[in-house]
Amino acid sequence: MKPSKSPKVIIVIGPPGSGKGTQSKLLCRHFGLEYVGSGDILRARQKVGDFTGQKLIKVMGKGELIPSFVIVKILGDKLEKLKNKSKNKGFVLDGWTRIIYEAILADEALGWYGWNKNVKVILLKISRRESYNRLTKRRQCKKCGRLIPWLGEFKKLKKCDKCGGKLVTRRDDKIESIKMRLEEFKNQTVPSINYYKKQKRLIKINGEQSIEDVFKDILKALKQ
């Protein structure tokens, strides 16, 4: 069989604090893919001064879950833009399939654009306790905004390793909102993970390792 010419699509999922954003960006750099993260795109969408833009500011400000209809609409708009690009080696989807409907509709959207031939779904597995620790203990540089994850060597840092700035616990990492995010993961995202699992599409990676080792495991799994 000839190697597939279909663009590479990687869907990265995992509990809060599992390092989805970090690993997604590493994958993009490694394979020359475009990063399609829901956080970045939704924040950009807030700036459009229409009804949805303004409502997103309110809903996201309260930390509420955005309805799947809005998520899928915005993802669809992004995919349409990618389709019109002359060169598209593929992309990494981060944060678009937190609910089972979104996983189903993301599959439909990928089929619509003819990108369903080369899709990989990666689950970064970490325990609930690890997730909680990483979210409550991660810090941010006051000066440059760099996020310092709660893992490996980073735990020992006293000051920002890039600019020497002071490190503080992030304000949005409040205990109540973290508990809410973990509950949401259990109730909403686990069914979406099971959807991929039932179809035998799930690639499970141990997320409780250093960033480098997680990435190595992902690359190894993608080759198989």
Residue numbers at the binding site for Zn ion (CB under 5 A): 141, 143-144, 146, 160, 162-163, 165
Gap between the terminal Cα atoms of the chain = 16
Specify the DSSP element, H or E, that contains 123.
strand 119-125
Q: Which is nearer to Zn ion, 170 or 179 (CB)?
A: 170
Q: Minimal CA–CA distance to 150: which of 131, 177, 165? A: 131
Closer Cβ to Zn ion, 163 or 175, answer by number: 163
- Cβ 144 to Zn ion shortest distance, Å: 3
Q: From the centroid of its chain, how far is CA 148?
A: 17
Q: Minimum Å distance from CB 29 to Zn ion?
A: 21
Nearer to Zn ion, 144 or 221 (CB): 144
Secondary-structure percent of the chain, ordered helix, strand, coil, rounded to 5: 50, 15, 35
Backbone CA torsion sign across 186, 187, 189, 192: positive
When the beta carbons of 168 and 219 are compared against Zn ion, the nearer one is: 168
Min CB(145)–Zn ion separation in Å: 7
Q: How far is the CB of 21 from Zn ion (least distance, A)?
A: 18
